[in-house]
Every structure is written in C-alpha cells, then in structure tokens.
Structure 1
Amino acid sequence: MNLIKWAGVVGLACGSLLLGTPARAGDISCKMSFQLSGWSVFYKTASGSGTVRCSNGQSLHVKLRAKGGGLTFGKTKITDGVGKFTGISNVRDVLGHYANAEAHAGAEKSAAAQVLTKGNVSLALSGKGEGWNLGVAFGAFIIE
C-alpha cells in the first residue's frame, strides 16, 4: 500500500515538472529606443518620444519628459538613445516617474549614460547626440 502511495507522489512530482514553472515578476526584458532634446539654465527640461519593445512581444509608444534643476547650463539633442529596463513583468510597468541625479559635461558630439529607478524597476539609459552642457542636476525622468 505504501508503495502505491509513493509511486503516486513521485508521478505527481514528475508531472508538475513537465508543466514548467510560472513566470515571475521581472522575467521579461524590455528595451526602449528614443529621441530626446532639451535645454537647461538652472532649470532643466527635455521632451521626446520612444518605443518600448519587450521579449514577450509587447510594445508601447511613449512620450518622454525630463525636468529638474541644479547648477546646470546647456542645450542637447539625443537622436540615438537606448534604454534597458529591469524588474518588468508587463510593458506598462515602464510608465511613471523615475528619480534622476546627474553630473554632465559635453560639447558638440557627445554621449551620455545614466541609471534611473522607480521602485523595483530600473532603467539604464545611454545615447549619442549633439549639443553642449555643463553642471549637476536633480529631477525626474517621466515616461507616459
């Protein structure tokens, strides 16, 4: 009798392995391609647009805004930006306000990279563009 029960338990355990494990939050990877332009004279502002594409086939067109302040001066335009998200379970998890702190200096052709956070979601931004900037700024990067 115990042998029959044991065989049943082993059979159920093996069967559950064949079904696979359910997806957990953060199991998909998402990338954003974007363009962004803006200026700063103590107050910093920028706007742009992008498209987020995820490994599960979801995609989303987004509006981008950056605003903040600090000791900052400049004008920049990013034409070839890339963002990589972590902590995503659905493409809509990318939407919201991300905390932003940066130190920057650049002239003419430039490149930049920074990491932003929103709760459990992180966003690593990198981009190439043109313009000039100098300073330290704090604020928000907003994806709508």
Structure 2
Amino acid sequence: MIKRSMGMMALVLAMAGGMAATGSARAADANVDCNLRFNLSGWSIIYKHAEGSGTITCDNGQKASVKIEVIGGGLTAGKYRIDNGKGEISHVRSVDDVFGDYVQAGAEAGVVKSGQAQLLTKGDTSLALAGTGEGVNLGVSVGKFSIKRP
C-alpha cells in the first residue's frame, strides 16, 4: 500500500512539474513583437465610436490586414481622425494572438490637430498606441479597442 501511494505521489509530482514547465515554456514563447499601422476616424457625444483599418507586421515574418473598432462611453465630445497611427504589440506568440478586445481608458484633448497616445492591455498582451490627426476631441472615456480580421 505504501509503495503504491509513493508511486502515485511520484506520478502526480512528475505531472505537476511537466505542467509547470509547459506553462513556463508558453510564457517564454510569447516573445514575438508586432507593429500596427492604422487609420482611424470617429466621433463621440457621451458614447464613443470609431472605425478604421490597418496592417500588423510581426518580427517573425507574419503579417495581417486588420479592421479596428473603438467603442466606449464617458464624458466626451468631438469628431476626429487619426492618420498613420502606430502601435506596438508585445508578449504574443504569433499574429493570431493580437486579435481581440483591448481595455481602453484615456483622456483626450485636441483642437484642429489631435493627438493620441495610449497603453492598452488584453491579458498579458500590451498594445501601445500613438498617432496624430485632425479634429476636435475633448473628454474622458473608457471602452474597448478591438482588432478584428476584415
């Protein structure tokens, strides 16, 4: 009985060690960096909505065309356009990991020449955005920034 219990315990410990190693390997595999180039236009009057498109290029050679949608709410008002926006996406294993919804919170202020710089997250994945454009935009908002396949 003791030998059987010791054998089971050794098996459980070996499996747990294997799972921990697999989890560590997955985290270590998430070292691909991707860049997003995009154009975006939208409006806000309490409700915030913007749409755009772009291209993602990863340092492992993968590439994808994307559709972008921003939806949120808060104390905002304005109409704006971001041209030649840039984003850096980190902690992914492949271009497939960049798709999904990122949490967004920000304060915007701009007249004629608008600017945008934000850091968004989706689990362990980070997306740093920067861009300039035209329009009027003022307020504070919370929402989501979605990257989808076209």
> What TM-score range do you get, normalising by the shorter chain?
0.7 to 0.9
- Tell me if structure 1 keeps the 8 A contact 2:45–2:77: yes
Matches within 5 A, 1:7-46: 24-46=28-50
The C-alpha deviation readout for 1:64-101, integer Å capped at 9, x for no partner, is 00001000000010011000011111001000000011
Residue 137 of structure 1: aligned partner: 141
Residue 67 of structure 1: aligned partner: 71
Residue 122 of structure 1: aligned partner: 126
Within the candidate set 84, 87, 99, 1:83 is matched to 87
**Quick one: which amino acid aligns to residue 49 of structure 1?**
S
Q: Secondary structure at the match of 1:92?
A: helix
- Tell me if structure 1 keeps the 8 A contact 2:111–2:135: yes
Shift of 1:25: 2.4
- Tell me if structure 1 keeps the 8 A contact 2:57–2:64: yes
CA RMSD in angstroms comes to: 1.2
Q: Secondary structure at the match of 1:57?
A: coil
Residue 111 of structure 2: aligned partner: 107
Once the two structures are aligned, what percentage of the paired residues are identical?
50
TM-score normalised over the length of structure 2 = 0.79
Q: Which runs of 5+ in 1 are unaligned?
A: 1-21
Query: Could you list the runs of 4 or more consecutive aligned residues of structure 1 that deviate by over 3 angstroms after TM superposition?
Result: none
- Tell me if structure 1 keeps the 8 A contact 2:35–2:88: yes
Aligned residues: 123
TM-score normalised over the length of structure 1 = 0.83
The C-alpha deviation readout for 1:1-41, integer Å capped at 9, x for no partner, is xxxxxxxxxxxxxxxxxxxxx89322111000000000000
Q: Which runs of 5+ in 2 are unaligned?
A: 1-24
Residue 17 of structure 2: aligned partner: none
Give me the whole-angstrom Cα distance separating, in 2, the residues matched to 1:127 and 1:44: 18
